[in-house]
Amino acid sequence: MLAFGMPSSLTRGEVAQIAALANLELDAAELDLFARQLGDILAYADQVQRIDTTGVPPTAAVVTRHAADRADEVRPSLERDDVLASAPDPALDAGFFKVPRVIG
Amino acid sequence: MTIRETREAVRSGARPAAEICREALARIDASNGVLNAFNTLAADRAQSRAEAIDRDPQRWRRAPLAGVPIAIKDNICTRGLRTTASSRMLAEYVPLYDATVVARLEAAGAVIVGKTNCDEFAMGSSNETSAFGPVRNPWDPTRSPGGTSGGSAAAVAARLTPAALGSDTGGSIRQPSSLCGVVGLKPTYGRVSRYGLIAHGSSLDQIGPIATTAYDAAVLLGVIAGVDPCDATSAPEPVPDYTTALTGDLNGIRIGVPRALLEQGVDREVGAAIDTALQSLRTRGAMLVDIELPHAQYATPVYYLVSTAEASSNLSRYDGVRYGFRANLEPRTQNPGPRTPNAEPRTPIAESRLQQMYARTRAQGFGCEVKRRIMLGTYVLSAGYYDAYYLKAQQVRTLILRDYDRAFERVDVVAMPTSPVPAFRLGEKIDDPLQMYLIDVFTVSANLAGLPAISVPCGFTAATLPIGLQLTGRRFDEATLLCVADAYERDNAWSTQLPPTPSR
């Protein structure tokens, strides 16, 4: 969207918005710190805007030849009870992970 | 002792694996108060494993790592052995499975003695972001060992174990190897399975060996490399016996030197040591060729846009539900009161207790650098900025890759320093993340281009701080890197110089 005029610093409000997207609770000191530091880093990263990339395809990964295709067959996996036992709040008998209530 | 010497002693029956293991554990125990290289010791597991090897010498007679104590970076999963990624988030996490590399090491006779300290979730360049305190550099405990595999590099440098595994997303094997004076190899992307490696940047991460000699690195790589059905990005290319490539012969090898890139700011002593090392390689028969990598100067910003985007996505899984840390929510301050059936008040999902639990778990479980990178990655992936930052960075990544492809039409190997500076003081850069990121200037492009790269000790500063030469090679041509590194070692025995023994 914006090819020019990237922000060289972020406002506290913008940082709070990003934090909400990232599921991070930040305190006031962190909001100020990240507003400054993310601004510095983005200003530095802005140098990539100078490079002409017209017609250049993006590289997301450098896998040359891969072995992703395999037979679709049932294989042993981890035991459900063992996996649940790693959880902070498991319901072993029911086979659930428990979380704080979502509604109400 | 090297891997080569240790396995020989065990195979020949000259020394029991149990004794070698006991001594390694004792060295770790004696040094950890100073170095802080290990998060977790696996004393019982290691000892019983070593005894099992001693009980069945026939079975391990030809094993490439028979009885060799190995340290594993603490972001590589070990079944039944705490694996923390040096984060509060995983401080009590005990994996239910072994990483493929761990299973392969044990099948080859290795004895895993413990898990090494690192930067939190492998994010940092100094080991200072670890939730368990920084590792200290064996050459000078007031200085950083580098990061993120600082514990692995320090353990090998202090000769606590003959070798270790690290992981490398933007230099995390090579930079600490350089700063600690050991050999560290980041393999080609896809050469080694990432199954069981706690993900940071999935298109960049590779596991690789840290050792004291190119020969030992070749042995270790041979054991861990190869296709793995559990990692769809692992490559089916056959795995050669890398040790057979170590001929000492460099005739016909062309080494590219990107002179313009080196003008980016290299410490004077580092620059001088690299020049001397290049002359040494030429004396052995290699040809030095000036090359250009015009886009390599942009590798650092591109790396921090791409890797943080991938990290923000990968780390979204830490939400306090399935495993790891969960924050306690204080009880509600307001009683919602009685409800009428037709007008039931509902808290929007975004403000639900569940949402609060996620956000607070992540606030308390992650340290500052991890939060900063999640924030940066979330920003560059967000609507409105995706094209300007993430897409643009991926396009420049293509240009960096093409630069290397073009260079490898003329040369076999590209040489440069691993780090522009020797080990810096703990605390010197930690408050300025951008200055910390700039340390990675020479290492990140190999990850962006998926190329193998090795760091080899090439001397010391006047203050006896190690300097590392980095060699980058063609895809799946680790053999040539190891050959050049080994040939260099034959004329320059830096590995015989040891750091002072740390004491409690």
Number of other residues whose CB lies within 10 A of the CB of residue B283? 10
Q: What are φ and ψ of residue A79, in 5° steps? A: -70, 135
- Average predicted confidence (pLDDT) for chain A: 87
Distances (CA, A) of B421 to B266, B275, B427, B479, B489: 7, 15, 15, 28, 22
pLDDT of residue B352: 86
Distances (CA, A) of B402 to A42, A47, B227, B374, B471: 25, 19, 26, 29, 18
Rounded Cα distance, B77 and B195, in Å: 9
pLDDT of residue A67: 57
Rounded Cα distance, B94 and B40, in Å: 12
Task: Tell me whether strands B183-186 and A90-91 are parallel, antiparallel or unpaired.
Answer: unpaired
3-state secondary structure B33-55: HHHCCEEEECHHHHHHHHHHHHH
State both tokens at A84: 């649940």
H or E, element range at B470? strand B466-473
pTM assigned to the model: 0.95
Decide if pLDDT at A2 tops 50: no
pLDDT of residue B340: 44
Give the ipTM of the model, two decimals please. 0.92
Q: What are φ and ψ of residue B76, in 5° steps? A: -115, 125
Decide if pLDDT at A63 tops 90: no
Contacts of A58 in chain B (CB under 8 A): 391, 394-395, 397-398
pLDDT band at A7 (very low <50, low <70, confident <90, very high): low
- The whole-number average pLDDT for the span A4-19 is 80
User: Looking at chain B, how many residues does it have?
Assistant: 504
pLDDT of residue B351: 74
Distances (CA, A) of B470 to A28, B18, B171, B269, B452: 42, 36, 10, 15, 10
Which amino acid belongs to residue B89? M
B230 contact A CB<8A: no
Rounded Cα distance, B354 and A89, in Å: 13
State both tokens at B211: 């050792």
Q: Which of B94, B298, B319 sits opposite A51 (nearest CB)?
A: B298
Contacts of B378 in chain A (CB under 8 A): 18, 21-22
Write the DSSP symbol of residue B185: E
Query: Which residues sit opposite B78 in a β-bridge?
Result: B81
Under 8 Å CB-to-CB from A75, ≥6 apart: which residues?
none
Rounded Cα distance, B289 and B409, in Å: 12
Q: Which of A44, A65, A86 sits opposite B96 (nearest CB)?
A: A86
Low-confidence ranges of chain B (pLDDT < 70): 331-350, 502-504
pLDDT band at A89 (very low <50, low <70, confident <90, very high): very high
State both tokens at B27: 């060295």
Decide if pLDDT at A5 tops 60: no
pLDDT of residue A66: 60
Q: In what order do the strands lie in the sheet with B38-41?
A: B38-41, B111-116, B69-73, B163-168, B206-211, B183-186, B453-460, B466-473, B413-417, B254-257, B287-290
The answer to whether B352 contacts A48, with C-beta atoms less than 8 Å apart, is: no
Q: Which residue has the higher pLDDT, A62 or B443?
A: B443
Contacts of A83 in chain B (CB under 8 A): 96, 322
pLDDT of residue B264: 75
pLDDT of residue B331: 62
Contacts of B448 in chain A (CB under 8 A): 59
